Chains A and B, each alone.
Chain A
Amino acid sequence: MDLCDVSALTSTYALLSKDFRSELRTRYAVNALIMFVVTAVSVIVFALRSEQPDSGVLAGMFWVVVFFTAMSGLSRAFVSEEERGTVLTLQLVATPSVVYFGKLLFNTVLTVSMVLAVTALYMVVFSGFVIRSPDIFFLTVLLGSLGLASASTIIAAIIAKANTRGTLYPVLSFPVLIVLLMTVMSATGKALDGEPFASAGADFMVLLSYIMVMTGGSYLLFDFIWKD
Chain B
Amino acid sequence: MAVLKVAAVVLVTIVLLGGIAIPLAASPQSFFEFPVIPGLEEKARNIFFHVPVAWTTVVAFLVSMVYGILYLRTKKIDYDIISVSSAGLGFIFCFLATITGALWAKFNWGSFWNWDPRETSIFVLLLIYGAYFALRSALDTEEKRATLSAAYSIVAGLTVPFFIFVLPRLVSGLHPGSGGDIDGSGPVVEFKMSANMLVFFFMGLAGFNLLYVWILNLRVRTMRLEYAQSHEQS
The one of A158, A168, A214 in contact with B158, judged by C-beta atoms closer than 8 angstroms, is: A214
- Chain A residues with Cβ under 8 A from B162's Cβ? 179, 206, 209-210
Are B155 and A218 interface neighbours, CB within 8 A? yes
Number of interface residues of B (CB under 8 A): 31
For residue B124, CB closer than 8 A to chain A, the reply is: yes
Chain B stretch 115-153: residues in CB contact (< 8 A) with chain A: 120, 124, 127-128, 130-131, 134-135, 138-140, 144, 147-148, 150-152
User: At the interface, is chain B mostly helix, strand, loop or mixed?
Assistant: helix
Interface-located stretch among B164-172, B180-188, B226-234: B164-172
The 0/1 profile, CB within 8 Å of B marked 1, for residues 136-178 of chain A is: 0000000000000001001100110111100010011011101
- Given known pairs A172-B135, A206-B170, A214-B158, the reply for A158 and B151 (CB within 8 Å) is yes
Number of interface residues of A (CB under 8 A): 32
Chain B residues with Cβ below 8 Å from A210 are 159, 162
CB-nearest residue of chain A to B128: A175
In the complex, are the beta carbons of A163 and B139 less than 8 A apart? yes
CB pair B147 A225 closer than 8 Å: yes
Q: Is A109 an interface residue (CB 8 A)?
A: no
Interchain Cβ contacts within 8 Å, total number: 86
Output the least CB separation between B150 and chain A (Å).
8
Residues in A with CB closer than 8 Å to B120 are 178
Within 8 A of B (CB), among A168-220: 168, 171-172, 174-176, 178-179, 182-183, 186, 202-203, 206, 209-210, 213-214, 217-218
* Apart from the given pairs A178-B120, A206-B170, 19 other A-B contacts in the complex at a CB distance below 8 Å: A158-B148, A161-B148, A163-B138, A163-B139, A168-B134, A168-B135, A168-B138, A171-B134, A175-B156, A176-B128, A179-B162, A183-B170, A202-B169, A202-B170, A203-B170, A206-B166, A224-B147, A224-B150, A224-B151
29 CB < 8 A contacts A-B: A155-B155, A158-B148, A158-B151, A158-B155, A161-B148, A162-B135, A163-B138, A163-B139, A164-B138, A175-B124, A176-B159, A178-B127, A179-B159, A179-B163, A179-B166, A182-B170, A182-B171, A203-B170, A206-B162, A210-B159, A213-B158, A213-B159, A217-B154, A217-B155, A221-B154, A224-B72, A224-B147, A225-B148, A225-B151
